[in-house]
Amino acid sequence: MSFSLESFQLGNIITGKIIKLEPTGIFVDFYTDQVAYVPLLELSLNEIQCPEEALQLNEIREFLVVGNYDGEHDIFFSHCSPETLKDSDRLYEVALELASEKCGHPISREDLIVHTKIRAVHGGGVSATIQWFLHSQEHPPTVSFSIRKLEMRTAWERIWQLYTEDVTVYRKILKKTLRGALVKIEGLRGTVLTYVDKHREELIVGEEFPLNIIKLREDCNHVVLLHSSVSIRLRQLQVGQIVSGTIRRIKDYGVFVDIGDLYALLPTSKIFHPSVDNPNQFFKINDHLKVKIIKIDPENGQVVLESCGRSDIVK
């Protein structure tokens, strides 16, 4: 029970009436000449075992129109300015050129269906995917309908707002992993980076902690967060700044220095003493150091250091 792409606009929100419930999904009347089947997986952002956990018979619900794609007509742009996205004519020009090249003959704008999806936001603009289809395709792509993706889209809108406004959120730790912890944020799973966090041991499963979003990858549903104190400390630091700290961990590749709410890495290659093959030869736990910041990576919560001179250790 598929519907052609021409019958609906991708990304639109449409209303339908639930006319039948089955163990594996529901039938929905979108007031067309045929009813649509929506599988259980697409009924809720939460994990459910049966449709009744998310909706009721004869209920009127909103659904997101989504596509079944094979990726054949995807055009990915790693750097796309907001001005380009606003200018639909420029997007159509790119899609028309590539569609004509693929089909081997000129394609008119009237023959083309174009759908744009934002994948990620970064300092230089955005990454986006343009998907193009021909009205006249022998087997045109079909569309399906989803409550889950509609809820996910709403969740991402809220998450982007929290990220843009740098809002501190309070979330319970669901599970601890080797390099982080898992939380739920707006119904989606988020990863709290803790391997640079001196408060890692304080993150107790089931307890709530203040967190800030530092990185988003909507294309793979990836939300990365940091303990708020670590996020604040990162904003206080600058490349070239001289800081004092205390060694808390020693590894073959370098030492981790506590510089206040986070552990910064002093790599072995950045230790001033050229004869040092292993930091254990020169440093020990609880040594106090004076070091220089050479790199700050806010998206991964990392700070990299280098020696200030021959006398790194503060007596």
pLDDT in tens, 187-220: 999 998 876 666 677 778 899 999 999 888 887 7
Q: Tell me: pLDDT of 71 over 90.
A: no
pLDDT, residue 50, reads: 94
* Integer Cα distance of 263 and 49 in angstroms: 43
Q: Average pLDDT, stretch 8-29?
A: 89
3-state secondary structure 247-302: EEEEECCEEEEECCCEEEEEEHHHCCCCCCCCHHHCCCCCCEEEEEEEEEECCCCE
The strand pairing partners of 132, in sequence order, are 114
Closest CA to 173 of 136, 211, 139, 119: 211
Please state the CATH superfamily assignment of the domain spanning residues 166-230 in this structure. Answer: Nucleic acid-binding proteins (2.40.50.140)
Q: Tell me: pLDDT of 138 over 60.
A: no
CB 91 within 8 A of CB 130: yes
* Integer Cα distance of 236 and 232 in angstroms: 7
pLDDT, residue 1, reads: 46
Q: Average pLDDT, stretch 36-53?
A: 92
Q: Tell me: pLDDT of 101 over 90.
A: no
For residue 51, name the pLDDT band (cuts at 50, 70, 90).
very high
Q: Per mean pLDDT, which range of 30-39, 137-146, 151-160, 267-276 is the poorest?
A: 137-146
Q: Do domains 6-68+146-150 and 166-230 have the same CATH topology?
A: yes
CATH fold for domain 237-307: OB fold (Dihydrolipoamide Acetyltransferase, E2P) (2.40.50)
pTM of the model: 0.66
pLDDT in tens, 174-191: 988 877 889 999 999 999
pLDDT, residue 8, reads: 76
For residue 135, name the pLDDT band (cuts at 50, 70, 90).
low
Share of the chain above pLDDT 70, in %: 75
Please state the CATH superfamily assignment of the domain spanning residues 6-68+146-150 in this structure. Answer: Nucleic acid-binding proteins (2.40.50.140)
> Higher pLDDT residue, 272 or 62?
62
Share of the chain above pLDDT 90, in %: 27
Q: Average pLDDT, stretch 224-252?
A: 87
pLDDT in tens, 287-314: 888 889 899 888 788 889 988 764 455 5
Task: List the domain boundaries for the chain.
Answer: 6-68+146-150, 74-141, 166-230, 237-307
> Higher pLDDT residue, 84 or 12?
12
